[in-house]
Structure 1
Amino acid sequence: MLSEAVFYDTLRQGLWVAVILSLPILTVALVAGLVVGLFQALTSIQEMTLTFVPKLGAIVVVYWVSMGFMTQSLVSFFQDELVPLIAGGF
C-alpha cells in the first residue's frame, strides 16, 4: 500500500516536472505577446491575427527546440519515480 507521504511527494515531483516542462513555452508566449502588443500600441494596428500568428510561431519553434529536453525529463521522471512505485519497490 502506498503511504500518504510517498503519494504527496510523488505528486509534488510530478507537478514540478510539469512546471519545468511548460516554462520555456510559457515564457516565449509571454515575451512574444508583449512584443506584439507593444508593436500594436506603437503603430495603432489592431489586427487580431497579428497577435495570434507570431505567438503561435514562436511557441512552435520553442517546442521543436526543447522537445528533446522535455522527452528526457519525462522519461527520467517515469523511470526514476513512477515505475518503481508501480513495481512495488518504493
Structure 2
Amino acid sequence: MTDQTIYDILRQALWAAVLMSAPMLAVALVAGVVIGLFQALTSIQENTLTFVPKVGAMLVVFWASMSFMTATLVAFFQDRIIPMIAGG
C-alpha cells in the first residue's frame, strides 16, 4: 500500500464525514440564526433558549437522516475498505 493510496482513502473518508454531518450542521446554523434573531428582537438573553431548541432540531434531523448516513458509511466501506482488505 503506497502513500498515495492511504491519502486517497483518507480524503474519501473525510468527504464521507462531511456528507454525513452536513444536514445536522446546516440545521444547527439555521436554528442558531433564527434563535439569535428572535433574541435580538425581543431582548431576551437566556442561554437555554439558544441551546435547547438547537439540540432538539439537531436530534430530529439526526433521526430523519440516519438512513442516509448509514447508507453513505456502508457504501464507503463496501466500495473502498473491504475490497482493499480482501485484495491484500
C-alpha deviation, 1:88, in angstroms: 2.5
- Which structure 1 residue ranges, 5 or more long, are not aligned? none
1:77 aligns with 2:76: yes
Give aligned-pair identity as a percent: 66
- Which structure 2 residue ranges, 5 or more long, are not aligned? none
C-alpha deviations, 1:7-51, integer Å up to 9, x for none?
Answer: 111110000000011100000000000000000000000111000
What corresponds to 1:6 in structure 2?
A: 5
2:47 and 2:18 map into 1 onto residues whose CA distance is 29
C-alpha deviation, 1:84, in angstroms: 1.2
1:20 aligns with 2:22: no
Question: TM-score of the superposition, structure 1-length normalised?
Answer: 0.94
Question: Which amino acid in structure 2 is aligned with residue 15 of structure 1?
Answer: L
What corresponds to 1:32 in structure 2?
A: 31
What corresponds to 2:56 in structure 1?
A: 57
Computed over aligned residues only, the root mean square deviation of the Cα atoms, in angstroms, reads 0.8
C-alpha deviation, 1:56, in angstroms: 0.5
C-alpha deviation, 1:6, in angstroms: 1.0
2:68 and 2:18 map into 1 onto residues whose CA distance is 13
Query: Which consecutive aligned stretches of 4+ in structure 1 deviate over 6 angstroms post-superposition?
Result: none
Equivalences, count: 88
